[in-house]
Chain A
Amino acid sequence: MKLGFYLRLAIDGMRKNSRLYVPYLLTCSGMVTIFYILGGLSHTQVINTMRGGDTIAMVLMLGCIVLAVFSAIFLFYANSFLVRRRNKEFGLYNILGMNKVNISRILVIETTLTALVSLIVGLAVGLLLSKLAELILVRMAGEISGYSFWIDPSSLIATVIVFGMIFALLLLVSLARISLSKPLDLLRSEATGEKPPKANFLFALAGLLILGAAYYMALSIETPLAAIGVFFTAVLMVIIATYLLFVAGSVALCRLLQKNKKYYYRPEHFVSVSSMVFRMKRNGAGLASICVLATMVLVMLSSTSCLYFGGEGHIRGNYPYDIMLRVHYADASECNDRSLSEISAAALKEAEGREKNVVSYSIYLTDGLLTDGVIDVNGVDRKKNAELVLNNVRSVGIISLADYNRIAGTNETLSENEALVWSSDKPYSAKTIAFDGCETVKNVRTVKKLPFKISTRQTIVTLLVVVVPDWEEFTGEITRYIDKLNDDTEHSLIDGTYEQYVCFDLSGTDENSQIEMARRVEQSVASTTSVGFLWRAADSFAENKSEFFGMYGALFFLGIALSIVFIAAAALIIYYKQLSEGYEDQGRFCIMQKVGMTGREIKKTVESQVLTVFFAPLILAGLHLAFAFPFVNKMLNIIASSDPVLLTVTNLSCFLLFSLFYIFVYRQTARAYYNIVSDMDVNRQ
């Protein structure tokens, strides 16, 4: 009977506060749902048997961990808001004769109910949606999945344990808070006159400086991989600065405005500025959280979608032909052996493949630092100014004029001291080309277009293709120099390799048989002893594509899933913010009307404040996104040749989509706000 009594009190309490609890329960359930789905997907059969399935599973598991940590932090925030709102009720119970043990019992029951509802609803929805999520994920990864329904018990158990622990933690915190409080404080906690916030100019200034420094750091990063630690420091600094700016900076700004009497004592500024001070004090942290969440969502979505949508182009850049056979030889004369094309053609014929656009050439590959027409193969490793290195480093591929003419079907002639030079990105400006440590200097004729497509594997580095008539002698000189360098030094191994490429497209073959054919070609090369090679590989476009989409499809999927959670969290913060402001503004509305403001004037000032408060985080998030752009671009460039235009497009469209959603949430929650405020109309007392 006693339990029944507390149960009734708890349920009543939640029902009376349904305005607060329903969104809270929805958010909790949503988190449970997504957690279960991510965990479940990482175990499903179809994903584990997919190519790149291991990577996908790992990405999803990482997502789960991120989600769990985020849920804990976020639910902690939401819960403290709920408890604060209900302090008055608990204070009343206390004064009516309930002791803290009784109140704690109500809290225990409430939290248990919340946990049960969230888990049951969340898991039920999770079970229903898991198949859909799987279809989407598999589709994004470029595969086809079956239609069998699945339940993943291990993820189910993990979800219950993780969220059970989170709720237990929340309960402990609430209990501690209740046991430390005095009844009268509880009763009064909402009504006490609020201390006017003091402007902390130091913190505000620190916020500005930190933000500036972080932006500068993000912009000045030249070598993303080496500076990834720097970037994460910058991210951390941006988060800290965002909080400082919203909490202290906004108050300081209002205080400065108030000091300017000519500005402050105007009807259009007077009320807004002074209430803004209080509004920002209460909501600063919430707004900063929204801003950080929004930035996370935007960066995550825009970069993963850029990778995903730019994927095909990137793969085509790396694998311009359906099948690309590369064989690595020890020296120039072996590399010139023409039998490789025949071996691959024979293997293909056996596999009933029909090739087209066949291209084969021998190429000498190395890297070097280009200065004034001289390529220093030993220059890259030296500790030089990073920017200088990045701007001047070149991949160099040297091919013979014979190969060039054969592929192009031309009859180009070059004298001994001439070379054709083609550059993949930055134009080649010097008149001559030479290698450091070699005597040969060649006059350069630049070429606009190559007669064949070449793999731009290291996309961040500009690729030079040099065509020379005396291929064996020219490359031989470089090889000897490199060998000498490698003998002299212990650490740096400078690469100079002879490779032969046989590339072709296939017609009328699906992707799976392309992969199979690539395997057959590779095997037949491996088993043919007529050419002595060091290393060989036959890459198919199809296989690389499916691997790429397996990986980045999963990342994109995770990006979307986490974005949903973050957005839901942001929406809940916004909603709570509107509610709490509504309650506080009720009384103020009334007074202002009595001292001579029209209802319309009041509505206008309130609206302008609400709008400012509301859109400030969005604007700052946009700024963060803009400053992260160069780094994200460089980072994506390493992962996959990112197209800055595509990244701009995904950035802008993500920002636009997010803004639309944000405005939608604003309009919905603004309604709740106006409902509360208009509850207390002076004319209808």
Chain B
Amino acid sequence: MSILEVTDLRKVYTSRFGTQQVEALHRVTFTVEQGEYVAIMGESGSGKTTLLNLLAVLDRPTSGTVLLDGVDTADLPEKEIAAFRRDQLGFVFQDFNLLDTFTLEDNIYLPLVLANRNYKDMAGKLKPIAQELGIDTLLKKYPYEVSGGQKQRAAVARALITDPKLLLADEPTGALDSRSTDELLGLFSEVNKKGQTILMVTHSVKAASHATRVLFIRDGEVYHQLYRGNDNNEQFYQKIQDTLTVLTTGGEKA
């Protein structure tokens, strides 16, 4: 069953006075199945972030549709978007986006508090997640007191605590050192094995090589895709690398 269906998605940015138009997404179509772990790769300016913003309903497409679990996000009234975002989606960002005025614990609770859940439920949910992510001893600390990797794990906990249908990750390893990157990617794989659908935007080959499928975007279109099949991480890494080489050394669009 596909959890996400993106059809003919197009996004045109118009400058303030309407004199200049930039087409960030030309025509993007793809689907993500329940339980999949999809990486989207592309160079800077290829439209990755625009795509993510559209999926997160932070922005509206110029044309085309995004169906999340059968719901057309364009049909959502303005008032419900925020609730939709926090109930259905989990976010992990490159720069963590933790609020510096909250402890890690409170940062993780934030979406639940906004959803009006009572404290007992929240505490019950946090415990297993915090243990799984190895941050149970850090919960009372403030973001500035912990390392980048720990911050990102807290951010993952915040994304997962709502049991989202889809976990959206935007360059999650971008600000991490290699050890933390490995840890985080390992976590993502584990979470995915337990059934969590993940969509990750990245330009790190290493990050992408952990996914089950990789989509390549160039000039606002899905240009190519690779399935992992039975490859292990190293083999899949090589395949992605090769594809990127072809893409960048000028393989004209077939």
Contact = CB atoms under 8 A, between A and B. Distances in A.
B93 to A, nearest CB: 7
Interface residues of B, number: 38
A593 B82 CA distance: 8
Given A193-B142, A266-B113, A267-B114, A595 B97 contact: yes
A593 B83 CA distance: 11
- Using C-beta atoms within 8 Å of the partner chain, give the interface range for chain A: 20 to 34
A594 B58 contact: yes
Given A267-B113, A596-B114, A193 B144 contact: yes
B135 to A, nearest CB: 17
A685 B93 CA distance: 15
Interface in B70-113: 78-79, 81-83, 85-87, 91, 93, 97-103, 106, 109-111, 113
Given A265-B109, A265-B119, A277 B144 contact: no
A261 B144 CA distance: 23
Contact of B79 (A267, A275, A598): A598
B104 to A, nearest CB: 12
B195 to A, nearest CB: 22
B140 to A, nearest CB: 10
A274 B81 contact: no
A452 interface: no
A275 B144 contact: no
A278 interface: yes
A117 to B, nearest CB: 35
Contacts of A193: 100, 142-145
Contacts of B79: 598
Contacts of A261: 119
Contacts of A275: 101
Interface in A343-382: none
B112 to A, nearest CB: 8
Contacts of B143: 193
Contact of B82 (A194, A274, A597): A597
B111 A595 contact: yes
A683 B59 CA distance: 6
A588 B143 CA distance: 14
A594 B58 CA distance: 8
A267 B106 CA distance: 12
A591 interface: yes
B116 A601 contact: no
B158 interface: yes
Given A193-B142, A598-B79, A601-B82, A277 B97 contact: no
A270 interface: yes
B75 to A, nearest CB: 17
Given A267-B114, A596-B86, A588 B101 contact: yes
A271 B111 CA distance: 11
A277 B143 CA distance: 16
Contacts of A449: none
A508 interface: no
Contacts of B113: 265-267, 270
Contact of B58 (A267, A592, A683): A683
B44 to A, nearest CB: 14
Interface string B203-236: 0000000000000000000000000000000000
Interface in A271-287: 271, 274-275, 277-278
Given A193-B142, A595-B91, A683-B58, A267 B116 contact: yes
A591 B93 CA distance: 10
Contacts, number: 83
B122 interface: yes
Interface in A505-548: none
Contacts of A594: 56, 58, 91, 93, 97
B101 A595 contact: no
| A271, A274, A595, A601 pick with most chain B CB within 10 angstroms | A595
B119 to A, nearest CB: 5
Contacts of A682: 58
Contacts of B78: 598
B82 A262 contact: no
Interface in A190-220: 192-196
Contacts of A265: 109, 113, 118-119, 122
A590 B59 CA distance: 13
A278 B100 CA distance: 9
A192 B49 CA distance: 27
A278 B102 CA distance: 10
A519 to B, nearest CB: 74
A588 B110 CA distance: 13
A209 B59 CA distance: 53
Contact of B86 (A278, A588, A595, A683): A595
A274 B102 contact: yes
Nearest to B78: A598
A277 B101 contact: yes
A588 B99 CA distance: 7
A289 B53 CA distance: 44
Contacts of A266: 113, 116
A515 B211 CA distance: 103
B142 A274 contact: no
Given A194-B144, A196-B142, A274 B122 contact: no
A270 B110 contact: yes
A596 B82 contact: yes
A122 B113 CA distance: 53
Contacts of B109: 265, 270
Nearest to B122: A265
B102 A598 contact: no
A601 B86 CA distance: 14
Interface in A245-282: 261-262, 265-267, 270-271, 274-275, 277-278
B101 A274 contact: yes
A277 B158 CA distance: 22
Contacts of B106: 270, 274
Nearest to A196: B142
Contacts of B99: 274, 588, 591-592
A610 to B, nearest CB: 15
B152 to A, nearest CB: 14
A270 B105 CA distance: 12
Contacts of A262: 119
B83 A596 contact: yes
A261 B123 CA distance: 11
Nearest to A601: B82
Nearest to A279: B101
Given A195-B144, A196-B142, A588-B99, A596 B116 contact: no
Contacts of B49: 685
A243 B145 CA distance: 29
Interface string A674-685: 000000001101
Nearest to B81: A598
B102 A596 contact: no
Nearest to A596: B86
B13 to A, nearest CB: 10
B179 to A, nearest CB: 22
| A266, A277, A278 pick with most chain B CB within 10 angstroms | A266
Given A193-B144, A594-B93, A598-B79, 8 more contacts: A195-B144, A265-B109, A270-B109, A270-B110, A588-B99, A591-B97, A598-B78, A598-B81
27 contacts: A193-B143, A193-B144, A193-B145, A194-B100, A265-B109, A267-B113, A267-B116, A270-B106, A270-B109, A270-B110, A270-B114, A271-B110, A274-B99, A588-B101, A594-B56, A594-B91, A594-B93, A595-B85, A595-B86, A595-B91, A595-B111, A596-B82, A596-B83, A596-B85, A596-B86, A596-B87, A598-B81
Interface of B: 49, 53, 56, 58-59, 78-79, 81-83, 85-87, 91, 93, 97-103, 106, 109-111, 113-116, 118-119, 122, 142-145, 158
Task: Please provide the 10 A-B residue pairs with the shortest distance between their CB atoms, ordered closest to farther.
Answer: A193-B144, A596-B86, A598-B82, A591-B97, A270-B113, A261-B119, A265-B119, A275-B101, A596-B85, A274-B101
Interface of A: 192-196, 261-262, 265-267, 270-271, 274-275, 277-278, 588, 590-598, 601, 682-683, 685
